[in-house]
Structure 1
Amino acid sequence: MTDTSQPPLWSDPTAPVGRRWLTPWTLVMMGMFGAYYAVAQIVLPEQAEQITDSDSAKVALTAWATGLAAVVTFVVTITVGVVSDRTTHRRGRRYPWVVGGVMVMALGTMAQGWADEPWLVVACWSVVAVGYASGGSAILAIVPDDVPVNQRAYVSAFYAMAMCLGPLLLIAAAVAVAGDLRVQYGVVAALCLLMALPFALRAKSVRLPVSERPEPQRLGQVLRSLVAPLRHADFTWAWLGRFGIQLSNALAQMYLFFYLKDYVEVDDPDTAVLILTVLYAVSGTLAAIPAGRLSDRTMRRKRMVVISSVLQGAAGLILAFIPNMPAAAVGAIVLGAGYGVYAAVDQALITQVLPDAHDRGKDLGIIGVANILPYVLAAALGGVVINLWGYPTLYVLVLVTGLLAAAAVQPIRAVR
């Protein structure tokens, strides 16, 4: 993906990346994010409804599937981070973990179409999570390997675009073939593979020479190394900020299908989710690129994270207290703008607080835990809150967690 004549792997890159780097990198993420969220927001809830016999059972199955998958993702994200830091593949140390992850993810998605028991749904979704965690962990670790510091927010804006447009495209595809779960899962898996092809065929990053590969570590050393970055205050605050904003976003989106069906009482929740996803994606994409460019030009990251957190919180209030489709549309636009700004800027901020260039993959894997744990918590917490207090309380929590995320990034010193 980048010229192998650039500086050594342990130095910050200086050569800017261009379209030949950005296009395959963005497309593979669009496929992974799109497949994961199309299933999580549309196909999995439909499957849960078909194989359970009550509202509480379908919410419980969704929570179990999402929660266990998040635990699997937690383990795989860190493992792949540690191992990819030591991978000497000729096309870059992250390459095999991205390509292999996409393949596992697609196979798990196709298998899920044949799952007709709750335990099979949970098992297959966990396989999908293995691939998603492997590919997602490795693809983000490429950024500090290949991208100069003053271009990282711009590049991360394409991450935000992938997060917005990928789910839109694949949710649209899933809705277009609605009616047969196996066809829906098959289409999603095929598109995930197709969008990864440019990366699989063209990607090339800086190779880790065998002579520079870090020594293998014993289990105790690995476990201690997982805690070591948290001794750096900036890294810890960045982790907490990521956790808060992801929890806010997870609470806003995880039970959206059921919110629209059971609380707003729309006639066609599939189409309603698609409409809101379109608005979210367009809003997020339009916000991400300018936010990334502005952040790179001024090198001010924290202020933009605060803006994104407040926007997500405002979206939560709209969904909590105005339960109709027009208000949900406004909420989706505000939520998308907030997440677009966040994803563009916070990813760049994270790469600037990594303690050691030798362990970028591992350290970003630890940051990745802050992407995963919120979905474990949101799956469990959301199900409990909905069943005990209802949807308004769930969406008030979107505001609370968003504001906590904004507060968490303020003590960071290395980034303005």
Structure 2
Amino acid sequence: MDTTTGEAQVAEVPKRNVLAILIMVFGNTFAALLPGLVAMPIIIARIDPANKAASLGTAVGVMAFLGMLLAPVFGVISDRTTSRFGMRRPGLLIGTATTTVGLAVLGVADSLALVYLAGVILAVGTSMSGASNAALIPDCVPGHARGRVFGFATLLGVVAGLMASVIGPRLIDHQFAMAAGGVPVLVLTTAVGLVLYRDRVLDPRDVPRQPVLRTLLDGYRFDPRSAPDYGWVWLGRLLLTFGISFGGAFAIYFLTDQLHVGRAELPSVISLTSALGMAGTTVGTLVGLFAADKVRSRKSMVLASGVLMAVGGVVAAFSASVPVFTAGSTLIYFAVGVFIPADGVLCMAVLPDDGRNVSKYMSIFTIADQFPRSIGPMVAPVVISLGAATPLGGYPLLYLAAGIFAIIGGLLVRRVRGVL
């Protein structure tokens, strides 16, 4: 096989593919964050005010757990899809349709049961589209440009999140719009992206013939001893995301319960803190997307982002006012912005099987992202309760614990040997 020719072909990245990826990232992120940042916490607080922390933790945890469970299955399906429509397009299309249904159910939810049902549907839809989405950059972007493309995709996600954080609180009295307001954007961007993207078409003869159940179980099959670098990056992401999961979903409750922000002030305070947080992520991502393709060691970037998350966690934990809390959370978001492109490129650099089964292995990385998001919100109320019995307080202890996890995760990534 002529590897030089192969590399030249891979290096020719169709601009329309990159444009399609960026457009779809924006739409998917906006539709997911509009309910995620505001709608679900507010809806649950209205339905179950006495147990809102535990109920929110359960809802977010169930969504993340299902996302973690389903991502590798949909990853294997995507890697073995032989449709003339392409390998990735079917998952993107069906996933978007399912997500739309979940957002609509959340919009009319008047009980915890309906909120949980919406969460289950959303987990299925986002896992399906996410598995296909995760393979798009490794499929068509050469290694030397992945940091920039991944970074710009992250940046557009930040812009979408910023828009969601500004628009969401203004819809606080209109539940359906607050939850499902992103559906038109999701449908439009997915439609445009599917038209633009030139997908791979898999020859049916290249798909192993085996029972369906075995095929699905293949999504979970991985021996860390066969690819230790992949294993260390996976574990580092797991712990760093554990730290991130502790703070994000409970920021609104920190403001109301710890800093005593009133209902009248809450929408403007949420908008301000979210906007500054997204600005921090934007700046961090800009730093990360250019540095990820330029710096000698992406492992050092991951460790540095973990340390910055910990510092931000300490500032937020001991804040006695909204401005100080906002400064701490903004630093955390900046660190997350640096982490995402550095970690993303590192993940792509350690994929096993010489780049085969891309969606499967990128989806297994989703477990490292979703497992802490499923367990973290369930563990967080326990940490809050323990902290409440100490002079430190419940929410401050939560932010300090988040920082510890972030540092440990960054240190573990240093054990990777095959890449810098």
1:400 equivalent to 2:404? Answer yes
Amino acid at match of 1:406: G
Q: Identify which range, 269-278 or 140-149, moves more after superposition.
A: 269-278
1:67 equivalent to 2:64? Answer no
Q: Is the 8 A contact 1:13 1:145 kept in 2?
A: no
Counterpart secondary structure, 2:172? coil
In structure 2, the residue matched to 1:3 is none
Aligned partner (choices 18, 25, 38) of residue 42 of structure 1: 38
Counterparts of 1:10-409 in structure 2, within 5 Å, are 14-17=10-13, 19-54=15-50, 57-217=51-211, 219-220=213-214, 223=217, 226-231=220-225, 232-267=227-262, 268-356=265-353, 357-389=355-387, 390-409=394-413
Q: Cα–Cα, structure 1 residues 217 and 239, in superposed 2: closer, same or farther, change >3 Å? A: farther
C-alpha RMSD over aligned residues:
2.1
Aligned partner (choices 405, 410, 415) of residue 411 of structure 1: 415
Q: Using the alignment, how far apart are the partners of 1:7 and 1:395 within structure 2? A: 51
In the TM superposition, residue 53 of structure 1 has moved relative to its aligned partner by 4.2
Q: Is the 8 A contact 2:31 2:181 kept in 1?
A: no
Query: How many residues of Structure 1 are paired with residues of Structure 2 in the alignment?
Result: 407
Q: Is the 8 A contact 1:304 1:342 kept in 2?
A: yes
> Is there any run of 5+ residues in structure 2 with no aligned partner, and where?
388-393
Q: Using the alignment, how far apart are the partners of 2:77 and 2:252 within structure 1? A: 37
Q: Using the alignment, how far apart are the partners of 1:112 and 1:84 within structure 2? A: 28
Counterpart secondary structure, 2:381? helix
In the TM superposition, residue 98 of structure 1 has moved relative to its aligned partner by 1.6
Q: Is the 8 A contact 2:76 2:215 kept in 1?
A: no
Q: Is the 8 A contact 2:92 2:190 kept in 1?
A: no
Q: Using the alignment, how far apart are the partners of 2:219 and 2:178 within structure 1? A: 42
Q: Identify which range, 313-322 or 262-271, moves more after superposition.
A: 262-271
Q: Cα–Cα, structure 1 residues 60 and 209, in superposed 2: closer, same or farther, change >3 Å? A: same
TM-score by length of 2: 0.91
Q: Cα–Cα, structure 1 residues 285 and 89, in superposed 2: closer, same or farther, change >3 Å? A: farther
Q: Using the alignment, how far apart are the partners of 2:309 and 2:253 within structure 1? A: 20
Q: Identify which range, 32-41 or 149-158, moves more after superposition.
A: 32-41
In the TM superposition, residue 188 of structure 1 has moved relative to its aligned partner by 2.5
In the TM superposition, residue 170 of structure 1 has moved relative to its aligned partner by 1.9
After superposition, the C-alpha distances for 1:325-383 in whole angstroms (9 at most, x for unaligned) are: 11122123211221111111111110111111221111111111011001112111112
Q: Cα–Cα, structure 1 residues 265 and 7, in superposed 2: closer, same or farther, change >3 Å? A: farther
Taking only the aligned residue pairs, the percentage that are identical comes to: 24
Q: Using the alignment, how far apart are the partners of 2:238 and 2:5 within structure 1? A: 33
TM-score by length of 1: 0.92
Q: Is the 8 A contact 2:77 2:216 kept in 1?
A: no
Counterpart secondary structure, 1:214? coil
Q: Using the alignment, how far apart are the partners of 1:130 and 1:12 within structure 2? A: 37
Counterpart secondary structure, 1:393? helix
Q: Identify which range, 24-33 or 242-251, moves more after superposition.
A: 24-33
In the TM superposition, residue 402 of structure 1 has moved relative to its aligned partner by 0.7
Amino acid at match of 2:41: P
Counterpart secondary structure, 1:116? coil
